[in-house]
Structure 1
Amino acid sequence: MVVNKLCNFINDSTIMPHHRFIHFPLITFVNASFNQVSNWDNAVPVRPHWRLWWNPEPGAEIGCDAGTYALDPGHMVLVPPYVRITHRLHQPVWSLALHVEVNEPVDPGLDRVFYPELPEDMVERLQQLNERIPQGFTFTQDKNHGAWLHLFLGEIFCRALQLLPSEIWSVPARDPRVDDAVATIHSAVDTTLSNTGLARQANLSTNAFIRLFSQNMGVPPQVYMQNVRLDKAARLLQQSDESIDIVAESCGFCDRNYLSKLFKRRFGVGPARYRRQMS
């Protein structure tokens, strides 16, 4: 499986003349496409990663609780993790869609989409997709479409993030004991961890630990642990061909039915449909 990790962008005169690639913390592409869209589901599953859309022509829009945003050449729509949106298509359009994991935490209370106006040179760069790949493309992590395309999309995505307000990256410092517990949870996703065991690791009583964890993370430890497992299940559904039964077992769920119930509650659709929509 090829994992397309992009950071420390460098000069490459064959890709980006007279412009330096942007350095940004590690990002990983989950999925990317530039295709003609003639049918969009109105309800869109929640995703555990960032999403970006840009269209070279009008004819589609993305909505959320705060309003509706028309996709056009001069703007992008960027959607942070776990934000619910809807699609609406007025006519068939070409659309660039990027699904990207960003190794940089954002404000956990962030519940909005972003609609930045694009600099003229960025619009010109995006228009090159029509010139270089007139037939469009689709790739996921297990498909190799060439270094230039990965670098091009990485550049576009990183520049898009730099158009966002800097305060969204301002995450309050956490208690180091909570950081240790979070690291333990992420390192043992398929293992049942008790509040008592995590509290013992933090040298706290169970009640004091639950209270401290909830204050720092916004949810109790068992809810956080369940969400971590569901996010891992989402990644496995996107990045592997493993059966849903194997995915459930790998993520610490007793069976696929229990996974499906919790997965639909978190992402809005069941595992099978989620996988189909990411293919």
Structure 2
Amino acid sequence: MGYPIIQPSPSSTMPRKPKGGYQSPFTRHGLRLGDAPRLGFTTFTIHECGYLPHGSDWNHPAVLSPFWRLYRNGASGCHVRFGKENFPLQPDRLLLIPDATPFDCVCETRAPHLWLHFTPLQTTSAFPRRPIVLPLTPLLGALVESLIAARTAADSPLTRQHLYHHAAALLHSAFARLEIPIAPEAPERLDQILRFLHSQLAGDLSNAVLARRAIMGESVFIRWFKQHTGLTPALYVQQARARHAAQLLALTDRTIEQIAADCGFPNRFYFTRVFRRHFTSGPAEYRRRQVRAG
């Protein structure tokens, strides 16, 4: 059965283009935020929100993930161990843990446990890879309570939508309290190269291909790229592929062979060798170590 065809009435006409001003989003009095990503403002992909009102056996050694974590416990008794430092999880604070930060989960007693797993959509590589403690201000405390209420409501598409917005509000408010390192302004041509590179990780990203795209000679391009990023193009590509592979290992059920191909590695053997160089373990072991419970 086809869809009915709606015939226009004889008097109908094409909609006219609205006349008048105020077509621009900018005014003489506002502050433009077009360069917000460079200034460190970010939005987020939120992978998971969890809340266990009675806690769990939260003891997990050698956690290392390709996404960020936010923790808040409703009582004392658990902590994150980072090297020789301990970061207690307590009601009066939030704990943020950047991606690629190795730590241990340690819990002597069960405590109400809230967590978010998320990925900032703008680069945050300037952050030191160590836990960050944020005191729980009245605003953050209210947002935490709203998030817990949304997480414990009966599951439905509408409550998931509400949960996402409450989680995003907490993350934005938490990040607003951080002193985010400002990235140096990069040439527009470099931004174009990096966007192309990250969108084509499965393809040919050799120095020659990237240099042609930048309209430079190969040797000039390598020096120019390293001057602005601190890395040679080959090493930057290798790191980008390894980090993307780590995300796929943690967040998807694709086989290791599929992930190797999707990230531009010619075979599993070479993929494992490169991945171990960046994450100190092979992809199979890395996937097994990922913590599901938060």
Regarding TM over 0.5, the answer is yes
Corresponding residue for residue 194 of structure 2? 182
Instruction: Give the Cα separation in 2 of the matches to 1:39 and 1:174.
Output: 43
Given candidates 55, 63, 66, the residue that maps to 2:81 is: 63
Corresponding residue for residue 259 of structure 1? 271
Instruction: Give the Cα separation in 2 of the matches to 1:94 and 1:270.
Output: 34
Corresponding residue for residue 30 of structure 1? 47
Given candidates 249, 264, 285, the residue that maps to 1:237 is: 249
Larger deviation, residues 235-244 vs 51-60: 235-244
1:113 deviation in Å?
Answer: 2.7
* Correspondence list, 1:6-21, <5 A: none
Aligned partners of 2:150 and 2:163 also within 8 Å: no
Instruction: Indicate whether 1:45 and 2:67 are aligned.
Output: no
Instruction: Indicate whether 1:157 and 2:175 are aligned.
Output: no
Larger radius of gyration: 2
Instruction: Indicate whether 1:88 and 2:106 are aligned.
Output: yes
Corresponding residue for residue 201 of structure 1? 213
Q: Which amino acid aligns with 2:259?
A: V
Instruction: Give the Cα separation in 1 of the matches to 2:42 and 2:78.
Output: 31
TM-score normalized with structure 1 length = 0.76
Instruction: Give the Cα separation in 1 of the matches to 2:149 and 2:159.
Output: 16
Aligned partners of 1:249 and 1:255 also within 8 Å: yes
Instruction: Give the Cα separation in 2 of the matches to 1:51 and 1:194.
Output: 34
CA RMSD of aligned residues (A): 2.9
1:109 deviation in Å?
Answer: 5.8
Instruction: Give the Cα separation in 2 of the matches to 1:164 and 1:109.
Output: 10
The structure-2 alpha-carbon separation of the partners of 1:261 and 1:148, relative to structure 1 and needing over 3 Å to count, comes to same
Instruction: Give the Cα separation in 2 of the matches to 1:177 and 1:85.
Output: 38
1:132 deviation in Å?
Answer: 6.0
Identity of aligned residues (%): 27
1:71 deviation in Å?
Answer: 0.8
Q: Which amino acid aligns with 2:174?
A: A
Q: Which amino acid aligns with 2:75?
A: E
The structure-2 alpha-carbon separation of the partners of 1:133 and 1:111, relative to structure 1 and needing over 3 Å to count, comes to closer
Residue 119 of structure 2 aligns to a residue whose secondary structure is strand
The structure-2 alpha-carbon separation of the partners of 1:174 and 1:102, relative to structure 1 and needing over 3 Å to count, comes to same
The structure-2 alpha-carbon separation of the partners of 1:32 and 1:257, relative to structure 1 and needing over 3 Å to count, comes to farther
* Correspondence list, 1:69-218, <5 A: 69-106=87-124, 108=126, 110-127=128-145, 146-165=160-179, 168-218=180-230
1:29 deviation in Å?
Answer: 1.1
Larger deviation, residues 172-181 vs 152-161: 172-181
Given candidates 192, 195, 220, the residue that maps to 2:232 is: 220
The structure-2 alpha-carbon separation of the partners of 1:105 and 1:242, relative to structure 1 and needing over 3 Å to count, comes to closer
Aligned partners of 1:106 and 1:170 also within 8 Å: no
- In structure 1, stretches of 5+ residues that fail to align are 1-23, 138-142
Residue 45 of structure 2 aligns to a residue whose secondary structure is strand
Instruction: Give the Cα separation in 2 of the matches to 1:158 and 1:127.
Output: 16
- How many residues are paired up? 248
1:195 deviation in Å?
Answer: 0.9
1:70 deviation in Å?
Answer: 0.9
